[in-house]
Amino acid sequence: MRLRNSICALLTAVSLTHGALVFAMTDNPNSDRPKATELSGSKMPEAKVRRILKIRANKAPTDQSVIPANSLPLRKLTRVQASKMKKQATLKSQHADHSALHPFKIDHERSRTLRILESYLEQGKLTDGEIALANELQLRPDDDQARFGLAVVQFLRAIESLSQDFYRYGLVDLSSQGLEIPFLRLPVPTNPNPDVASYEKLRKTFASLVDNLTKSQATLALISDTNVKLPLKFAMIRMDLDGDGQTNDEETLWKVYSSVTRENYITLQQAQEFSIKFDRGDVHWLRGYCHLLTAICQIYLAHDSSDTFQRTAHLTFSKVESPYQFLARGRGVHRLGNDGADISDLVALIHLVNWPVVEPDRMQSALHHFEDVVRQSKEMWKYILAETDDDREWIPNPRQTGVIPNVKVTEEMVVAWTGLMCEIEKILAGEKLIAFWRGDDGRGVNLRRVFLQPRTLDLVLWVQGSAAAPYLEKGETTKIGTWNSLQRAFGSQFPGFALWFN
């Protein structure tokens, strides 16, 4: 999968008064149009000229540099000029009438929102961009493109803030140790002088991430325009990953992508030319991701993992508040490779995932967020499958071409994925059980009760099966055919498509 995403468009058409007056009456010495001083001795009735230049009061420009039509001296206009002006005025009036019914049916590639959004994203000033777009929405509360842009900025701010916290506490490069842990794979720069990481600080980091994702999701939920569009030059977005208040070329997303994947074939020109036009289907895609990431955070925050942190956090952070400082330096039992983790630490990590529940309400919240992931996936495909255009699609339907090269979404994939979502929906509702991997009495695991009646999370005992005992019951279990259809449709590429589709 390749990175490439980007933002932008320009808002609102020029008003009739401004367009007509600038065309006919500016004193620009370089203009081919007749100057106001040349338009004298008009034979055209004054009332007729004023009708041509007339504009509705509610469309009048607020720009102080535009002179009201009734304050201008009338000059001579040729019939050709007058006819041309009249046609322009008629077209603008028709556009104004249409805009009155659909005030934000704008040119999505040429909007004020997009100019604002591009400016802040390409400078990496996400906080300022969030403030600017929030102000735009106060002025134009029906502008769903601005609302979509604000939600994107809020989502990026959530990721940026997470990265800054990880940098502050000296997150190490886990890939060198052969570890792939969700949330800890961010391309965080190496901090030469990190703060000491503690369990309490880490909990605050993930609680803050939940709050920021909730803010973005709430903004997205207010979008009602089925035709909303948001073109983005995503590869050129900058984020302040280390929290120093500045951004450099290495913090543009295409550079970050190249660094993480070690794929250095992407050029600056390719990054600048790459653009995605996000649409209504992608609104629900991003909402789904907000819910998914929030659910994972809530599961972590619902449990007490302090002992795990104290004994194994030296695997992930440079300086750790722990009574076991000797684990971070000196000899080990057996290292995996030259710079890899000690095998005894990895065994301990698995053994120590034995977390008591401390905030059970967060498990219930996680369940509801997972249910929302399914709902948003269904909404996403409803809009995507109804699309008839083919313009820089982030997730295309089978008739479209997506922006990710050499990747085709087939009808079989869509059918298999929507079938999976229906199956997960029934599992989360408790209507279907997960087939139990031990015993032969035909019982299954009620996953809904795992969230609503949470107990200590013991990874080893869940794999062994005894931790599932309180949730076993008779009932219809999920069918193997659902999972076989995924294998047929996606083959070995299913994990990548699952991350893409969410």
- E strand or H helix at 260: helix 253-261
The per-residue pLDDT for 111 is 82
Residues 46 and 119 in one domain: no
Close Cβ partners of 339 (under 8 Å, ≥ 6 residues apart): 176, 177
- Does residue 8 lie within any of the structural domains? no
Q: Please say which residue of 77, 101, 125 terminates a domain.
A: 101
Residues 439 and 291 in one domain: no
Residues 174 and 317 in one domain: yes
- Does residue 7 lie within any of the structural domains? no
The per-residue pLDDT for 183 is 54
Residues 210 and 296 in one domain: yes
- E strand or H helix at 445: strand 444-445
Mean pLDDT of all residues in 104-133: 83
- Does residue 377 lie within any of the structural domains? no
Q: Flag whether pLDDT at 194 surpasses 60.
A: yes
The per-residue pLDDT for 341 is 82
Residues 229 and 303 in one domain: yes
Per DSSP, what are the bridge partners of residue 320?
197
Binned at pLDDT 50, 70 and 90, residue 178 comes out as low
The per-residue pLDDT for 249 is 83
Q: Flag whether pLDDT at 102 surpasses 90.
A: no
Of 173, 273, 282, 182, whose CA–CA distance to 225 is shortest? 282
Q: Which of the pair, 493 or 41, is modelled with greater confidence?
A: 493
Residues 263 and 350 in one domain: yes
Binned at pLDDT 50, 70 and 90, residue 250 comes out as confident
Strands of 350-442 (E only): list them: 354-355, 434-435
Contact 35, 22 (CB under 8 A): no
Q: Is 245 helix (H, G, I), strand (E, B) or coil?
A: coil
- E strand or H helix at 230: strand 230-233
Residue 299 in tokens: 């599961």
Q: Flag whether pLDDT at 61 surpasses 60.
A: no
Residues 143 and 288 in one domain: yes
Residue 453 in tokens: 């009646």
Residues 281 and 425 in one domain: no
Residue-wise pLDDT for 333-366, tens only, equals: 887 766 678 899 999 999 999 999 999 999 999 9
Close Cβ partners of 54 (under 8 Å, ≥ 6 residues apart): 16, 69, 89
Compute the C-alpha angle 359/365/367, nearest 5°: 115
Of 493, 298, 281, whose CA–CA distance to 377 is shortest? 281
437, burial (CB in 10 Å: exposed 0-12, middle 13-18, buried 19+) = exposed
- Does residue 76 lie within any of the structural domains? yes
Q: Please say which residue of 101, 136, 163 terminates a domain.
A: 101
| Domain count across the chain | 3
Domain membership of residue 479 as a residue range: 401-501
Residues 245 and 318 in one domain: yes
Residues 325 and 208 in one domain: yes
Q: Please say which residue of 101, 133, 166 terminates a domain.
A: 101
Per DSSP, what are the bridge partners of residue 477?
433
Kindly calculate the radius of gyration of the chain based on its CA atoms and give it in whole angstroms: 29
Q: Which residue in the block uniquely carries the two structure tokens 């279907």?
A: 432
Sequence letter at residue 462: W
- Does residue 106 lie within any of the structural domains? no
Report the alpha-carbon distance of residue 115 to residue 219 in Å, rounded.
20
The per-residue pLDDT for 335 is 77
* Share in percent of the chain as helix, strand, coil (round to 5): 55, 5, 40
Residue-wise pLDDT for 4-39, tens only, equals: 333 333 333 323 333 332 333 333 334 333 333 333
Close Cβ partners of 498 (under 8 Å, ≥ 6 residues apart): none
Binned at pLDDT 50, 70 and 90, residue 101 comes out as very low
- Does residue 378 lie within any of the structural domains? no
Residues 183 and 64 in one domain: no
- Does residue 379 lie within any of the structural domains? no
Q: Flag whether pLDDT at 88 surpasses 70.
A: no
Instruction: Tell me the whole-structure pTM to 2 decimals.
Output: 0.76
Averaged pLDDT score across all residues of the chain: 80
